[in-house]
Every structure is written in structure tokens, then in C-alpha cells.
Amino acid sequence: MKITVDYARCEGHGLCAEQAPEVFSLDDDAELIYHFDGVNVPEDKVTAARAAIVSCPVAALREAS
């Protein structure tokens, strides 16, 4: 699975990083870091990644088809 991140929409709430800390994190300026940009999320992290997508209050994350 791949995830599309709308960085302009992201407000840095960090809920995705709480749900999937190995997939997402925030830097010191509360900017989102997506650790698998351009590649598939490893299978063992897909469930957490999907939970992170659902948790985003501004819908900045989307599962790519």
C-alpha cells in the first residue's frame, strides 16, 4: 500500500504519528515526515498506517490506489 500525503492540508496535529510512529513523525517545527514516501508501506505496518489515515482530522492522508 502507498499513502498520498497532502502536506499543504496537514496542520501538524500528530495523530498519525501516535497511531503509526514508524510510518509518520513530526519534525521540530511540527512538519509531517512520511517515512515511506514513494514506496510501499511494509506489510507489518499497514494496519497502523490505515489507523493513522482514519485518525487525521483534516483528511491530509489518503490510501493511494
Which tens digit of pLDDT belongs to each residue from 5-23? 999 999 999 999 999 999 9
**pTM (2 d.p.):** 0.92
Q: How confident is the model at residue 65 (pLDDT cuts 50, 70, 90)?
A: confident
Indicate the CATH number of 2-64 among 3.30.70.20, 1.10.3720.10, 3.40.1390.20, 3.20.20.70.
3.30.70.20
Strand stretches in 1-65, DSSP E = 2-5, 24-26, 32-34, 61-64
List the domain boundaries for the chain: 2-64
Give yes or no for a contact between 17 and 25, defined as CB atoms under 8 angstroms apart.
yes
